Structure 1
């Protein structure tokens, strides 16, 4: 087995363990490269079928191509596609683009709060109707007790403190200093009742590993990651008011791999174009302690 084979096998193992150990779990799909690789791995783990609902938190400020890509792939792969949102914050315009919140508060409103209440079933959830390709209100309001996330340890400082199976309290708050040890593929999966679990099958993957795997498996991803003629592309995807592209002429996956191997971005953080990280002191720990992805 080569390195990618080993990473794939470990991730598939974690996915199957999560599905076996936890009731009513879901998988977050942010539409970016990492969570799309995670989705691909789930299809491998369960032989072409994904038995876990895919959940997307829609801030209504995503780049339009991202939403189109999400819905096209959900229809093609017959995914149980669910989205949630903070309807009240959007209606009251308590957002950064509307000038009524700073970036951190906007993320807390549109992402952290929306995620917490979508997972708990306290707020409306919307599920894709595959007959029409449209979303309808989800009648299932059962709480998701665990969520599978495409977090990588190398992506950003606070994520390096995660575990494969990482507990949160009933409010989704993260106690960074109280994480279970994980040695020699021995994982803690028996948690106290009411514990919310985050599962991270991609924890040991790097940005380069992700792109090498996308190339090897020919995984379809959004074209926003590629230079479309203006010498710029997105390296990390998020809400358009807070995400800027990088200077790059990479027009395909092979170009990106070469760019990463050449060291062009060796000393530039992957999320350097995400403005909310800078407002959070250069990282995401404040947001993530409060339930952010």
Structure 2
């Protein structure tokens, strides 16, 4: 069994700036480790705030370029502003963008609730991508604090030959050692932002001046806090029209980040079923 291990970045400090530096250093280290040990490697890009931060960190890790393909799992249901942002950033950052067209909802598991069934299209699209490209590693911008099922994840998280996730059989990650050898056909999801919080993401976005989809900023008392397809994601009440105002809002709000995601209001186990089947 191969284990990836390098010198651990310094422990998080109490100051907000130091904490962002520590989070950045660790995430860059994880991205470089994934690139060195999991070939071929790709990155899933949802074009939301979290995956934009991972993309920014990847550019920092490799001196301004991203040396692996960036994949959008496209259902054709993104908001127009998302597609416009994608096309602009691809040009400005010279990205190797691969667009994976997801199969129709009619081909998804009919026992899933409606919003979960719509989201399952991306699982099927990812499975097709993995089968065709034989990726050994996939960078994903998820965080533990975003949703309960994601809190069970590992940083280097193995998926079975069929792309499934068995939460009961995850390898231990002690002393910054990560397992990277798995059967041919299996792959590893790598989560550089797993220990970040929503506030960390926005504070880092402000510090680094990372571009964002304008839908995150309030207009007429509404904004998108979590950005997804237009048929399953909706804006929430907010007057935060700048990143500074978003940060101030998050420092006091008790409203969940995914309040605008219709999938989260369906049956209790629907999201877990989706993730076990290979969802991000």
Query: TM-score with structure 1 length normalisation?
Result: 0.85
- The answer on whether the counterparts of 2:225 and 2:257 sit within 8 Å (CA) in structure 1 is yes
2:60 equivalent to 1:44: yes
Alpha-carbon shift at residue 285 of structure 1 (Å)? 1.1
Q: Alpha carbon RMSD of aligned pairs, Å?
A: 1.9
Query: TM-score with structure 2 length normalisation?
Result: 0.89
Alpha-carbon shift at residue 25 of structure 1 (Å)? 1.0
Q: 1:55 to 1:255 in 2, by over 3 A?
A: same
Alpha-carbon shift at residue 186 of structure 1 (Å)? 2.0
**Larger displacement relative to structure 2 (215-224 or 268-277):** 268-277
SS of 2:184's partner is coil
2:119 equivalent to 1:107: yes
Distance 1:39 1:220 in 2: 11
Q: 1:101 to 1:206 in 2, by over 3 A?
A: closer
**Larger displacement relative to structure 2 (281-290 or 31-40):** 281-290
Distance 1:280 1:78 in 2: 41
Q: C-alpha deviations, 1:139-171, integer Å up to 9, x for none?
A: xxx322221000100000111111110000011
Distance 1:101 1:188 in 2: 35
SS of 1:82's partner is strand
Map of 1:153 onto structure 2: 144
Distance 1:284 1:272 in 2: 14
Distance 2:85 2:277 in 1: 29
Within the candidate set 196, 202, 225, 2:216 is matched to 225
Runs of 4+ in 1 over 6 A off after TM superposition: none
Map of 1:242 onto structure 2: 232
1:1-293 paired onto structure 2 within 5 Å: 2-87=18-103, 89=104, 102-108=114-120, 110-121=121-132, 142-228=133-219, 230-261=220-251, 263-264=252-253, 266=254, 268-281=255-268, 284-293=271-280
- The answer on whether the counterparts of 2:50 and 2:142 sit within 8 Å (CA) in structure 1 is yes
- The answer on whether the counterparts of 1:156 and 1:283 sit within 8 Å (CA) in structure 2 is no
Q: How many residue pairs align between the two structures? A: 262
Q: 1:191 to 1:143 in 2, by over 3 A?
A: closer
- The answer on whether the counterparts of 1:158 and 1:283 sit within 8 Å (CA) in structure 2 is no
Long gaps (5+) in structure 2 = 1-12
